[in-house]
Amino acid sequence: MSNLNAATASIPVAQAEGPRPLGALKRPVDAEDRIAAAVREILTALGENPEREGLRDTPDRVARMYLEVLGGLHQDPRDHLKTQFSADHHHGAVIVKDILFHSMCEHHLLPVHGRAHVAYLPAGGRLTGLSKIARLVEGFARRPQLQERLTDQIAQGMEDILAPEAILVVVEGEHMCMSMRGVRSPGSTTVTTVARGIWASNSAARMEIMALLKG
C-alpha cells in the first residue's frame, strides 16, 4: 500500500463520512513534511524541476501556507464564544456585519473570499464579545469548506455555546474555482443564509433583521 493510501485508510470513518465535525481534528506530527513531499510530486508530475532555484523552497513554503490557511481544522472555533457577559441584561438583537473571511473550496483547493454577517437575539442577556464572533467566522473559514457548510457551522457554533433565542447568518463569497477555471466567471457572488430560533419561524421578524444586515 502506498503512503497516500495508507494515510487515507487510517482516517476514522466518523471523519470520512457524514457531517464534518465542528471541533478540532488532531494535526499529524509530520504534517509539514508530508505536504511538502506532495507538492514536490505535483511539480514533478507537471514536468517541472522542483530543485531549480525558483522552486527549490516552494514545497516547504506551500506546506507552511496550507497549515496556516487551513489551521481552523486544528482548533475549535466555538471556544472563542466562551467569553461571555450578562451583567447588562441586553435583550435586543446584536448584529455584526461585514466580517471579512478567506477560506478554501474543498472541491478544488482554491480560495474563497467574502463577507459574513451574523445576528443573534440573546437569551437571558447572555452576550459574547463582538470580536469573538469574527474569530468564530475566521476559525470555521480556515478549513477546506463549502460555503453552505460554513454558513451552517457559524450558526451551529453560536447555538451550541450562546443558546440564543434566534440566529441569522448571511455569507457572501466569491469562489476562485468559478473565477479562475471552468466557467471563468470573475465577480460572481454566492449568497447563503441560515436562520434559527424565532427568526426561522417568524418571517416578519426575520425580514426586519435581514434588512438591518443589508442596510
Cα distance between the two ends of the chain? 56
HSE value, Cβ hemisphere, 13 Å, CA-based, for 170 = 18
**Does residue 177 carry a catalytic annotation?**
yes
User: Phi-psi bin for 98: left (phi > 0), alpha (psi -120 to 50), beta?
Assistant: left
Which helix (H) or strand (E) element contains residue 134?
A: helix 130-141
What DSSP character marks residue 23? S
**Does residue 147 carry a catalytic annotation?**
yes
Give every CB contact of residue 16 below 8 A, 6+ residues apart in sequence: none
Which helix (H) or strand (E) element contains residue 197?
A: strand 190-197
Question: One of 75, 80, 156, 175 is an active-site residue; which one?
Answer: 175
Question: One of 74, 108, 159, 172 is an active-site residue; which one?
Answer: 108
> What backbone torsions phi and psi does residue 51 show, to the nearest 5 degrees?
-95, -5
Q: How many CB atoms lie within 10 A of CB 73?
A: 16
**Does residue 105 carry a catalytic annotation?**
yes
Question: One of 32, 74, 172, 177 is an active-site residue; which one?
Answer: 177
Question: One of 89, 90, 102, 107 is an active-site residue; which one?
Answer: 107
Question: One of 32, 48, 106, 159 is an active-site residue; which one?
Answer: 106
C-alpha cell at 7: 494515510
- Quickly list DSSP for 158-174: HHHHH--SEEEEEEEEE
Question: One of 145, 147, 153, 156 is an active-site residue; which one?
Answer: 147
Would you please indicate which residues are annotated as catalytic (active-site) residues?
Answer: 105-108, 147, 175, 177
